[in-house]
Each structure stands twice: as structure tokens, then as C-alpha cells.
Amino acid sequence: MYFEKDVILFDQSMTDQTTALTTLADALQKAGVVKPSFKEGILSREKQFPTGLLAPSMGVAIPHTDAVHVIKPQIGFLQLREPVHFNQMGDNADVSAKLIFMLALNDPDLQLAMLQRLMGLFQNDDLMKQLTTISTTADFKDIMKQAEID
Amino acid sequence: MKTLMVVCGSGVATSTVVTGKIKNWLADEGFDGQVKMLQSKISDEVNHIDDYDAVVSTTLVPDNVKDKVINGVPLLTGMNTQAVYDQITEKLELK
């Protein structure tokens, strides 16, 4: 259910964090799963409360914003050709993010298991490495299935 | 009963993960009867930090409350998680 709208982008060249966030947010809006206010929510929230994470094998980011901007739970994925700069949540450390998972969520209780599995995926070096090299939606969904996120 | 508040930027995503992890840990350690878990967004709690026995955050907190808040990000990345649990144990005086 989290990937049914196929907001899954590979090998993207993004000049900076804002461009990457805008691209994913626009794609989610086009898919009809978030309100027009979602993008602004994402951009302002990222400035105030960064969402980068230094996973063991690479930097990632999980931009998200308030539930009020979300119509239907969904995750957008962006694989970057060159990493873009984020700051780590909690301590503001520099993060060179290679993968971005944009979370459109509105029900914390339902989504707990998915989020825990997403954090588990970040700690799986083998699957993370595959995520940086794949180039098809089918391969992406296969990896997500292995991580039990779907 | 001690109170433990978990905050993130939105109150729906990473604070949920951290709350789940801490709940499991409390149960494993046999502390679950001693602690009441709460969850919120940082902007709602920044002036109420002292209302709780301990606060864990996955997001940046203002400098004036920084020393009172435990950084919960290791519970997301899985690196150095024990340090977080040690701080919670100390703050809540769990035994």
C-alpha cells in the first residue's frame, strides 16, 4: 500500500536538498495522496527539524510533515546520482544523503510497524547497497518486500 | 509512576518508532509498570519540559532545554542504543 502510486524515482541529479524535496513532494501531490500544502510543510519542517540519518552504510533522509497535509499514506522514494546535503535529526550533524524516503503518514499507530522496518532496512547494508544501484520499480518493490515494507 | 515524553518534529513518525523501542525495552527490563509513556511534537512541549520526569527527542531542541532532553536518534539508527537506555534509567531512577 505504501508504494502503490509508484512515486519511485531513480538516478536523479538534484542540485540541492530543496530541489530533491520539491521533486518528491510534487510527485506525491500529482499522485493525489497529499494536499497542495504538503510541499510547503515538508520544506519548512526540514529547515526547522532536519530529517537526515547517518545509517551504518550511507546517509539517508526521511522527510515528513504534519498529518493534516496527507490524504492517503504513501512513501515516495528518490535515488540520487550524487548525494545531497541534509542535516541529521537530533544533532544537526552533516549527512550526505544518497537515498530519500519521503513519508506521507497520518496514523502513527498503524504505521509503527512500517517505520520500525524502515529503520531495520537502514541497518541492512546489503539491501541498502542494492537500493543505490537498482533502476526498476520491480526491483525496488522486491527489496521493499524483503524488508517487509509494502 | 514516572512520566517519559517522546517528541519529534511532527509527533507522528519518528517519535512513534522511538516510543515502540522504549516500550519494548521497558518490558524486557521489567520496568514497564513504573513508567507512563507520552508522545507529542516538540513545538507543543518546548515550554513543558519540566512537567515530565524525562524527555527523549528525535529532533533538534532549543539550546535552553538541550541539557534536559535525551537524544533519541540512536534508537532510530541502531547505533549506540545502550547510551540512550542508560540515560533514561538514570533520569527516571529505574531499578
CB A45 within 8 A of CB B9: yes
Report residues of chain B scoring pLDDT below 50.
none
- pLDDT category of residue A113 using cuts at 50, 70 and 90: confident
The yes-or-no verdict on residue A56 having pLDDT over 80 is yes
pLDDT (0 to 100) of residue B7: 93
How many residues belong to chain A?
150
Rounded mean pLDDT of A38-64?
Answer: 94
User: Which residue in A65, A67, A115 is closest to B17 by CB distance?
Assistant: A115
Q: Which of A54, A90, A115 sits opposite B13 (nearest CB)?
A: A115
- The 10s digit of each residue's pLDDT in A68-86 is 999 999 999 999 999 999 9
Nearest chain A residue to B40 by CA: give it. Answer: A108
Q: What is the ipTM of this complex?
A: 0.70
Please choose, from the candidates A26, A48, A49, the residue with its C-alpha nearest in 3D space to the C-alpha of residue A37.
A26
Q: For residue B45, what is its C-alpha cell?
A: 512541549
Residue B33 contacts A, CB cutoff 8 Å:
no
Q: A55, A95 in Cβ contact below 8 A?
A: no
Q: Domain B2-92 in CATH: superfamily?
A: Response regulator (3.40.50.2300)
CA-nearest of A25, A64, A29 to A45 is: A64
How many whole angstroms separate alpha carbon B45 and alpha carbon A44? 19
- Which pLDDT tens digit goes with each residue over A4-18? 999 999 999 999 999
* Contact check, Cβ <8 Å, B78/A56: yes
Please tell me if residue B57 touches chain A, with a CB cutoff of 8 Å.
yes
Cβ distance of B13 and A123 shorter than 8 Å:
no
Nearest CA in chain A to B8: A49
User: Would you call B81 an interface residue with chain A, using a CB distance cutoff of 8 Å?
Assistant: no
Please tell me the pTM assigned to this model. 0.87
pLDDT at res. B66? 85
pLDDT of residue A57: 93
How far is A108 from chain B, CA to nearest CA, in Å? 5
- Give the pLDDT of residue B12: 74
Q: Which pLDDT value is given to residue A112? A: 78
Q: Average pLDDT, stretch A19-23? A: 98
Q: What would the mean pLDDT of A116-131 be, rounded to a whole number?
A: 94
Minimum distance, in Å, between the CA of residue B80 and any CA atom of chain A: 11
**Domains identified in chain A and CATH numbers:** 8-146 (3.40.930.10)
Q: Structural domain boundaries of chain B?
A: 2-92
Check CB contact under 8 Å for B42 and A49: yes
Are the C-beta atoms of residues B76 and B18 closer than 8 Å to each other? yes
State whether A45 and B9 contact (CB < 8 Å). yes
Residues A111 and B19: beta-carbon distance below 8 Å = no
Q: What is the mean pLDDT of residues A46-61?
A: 93
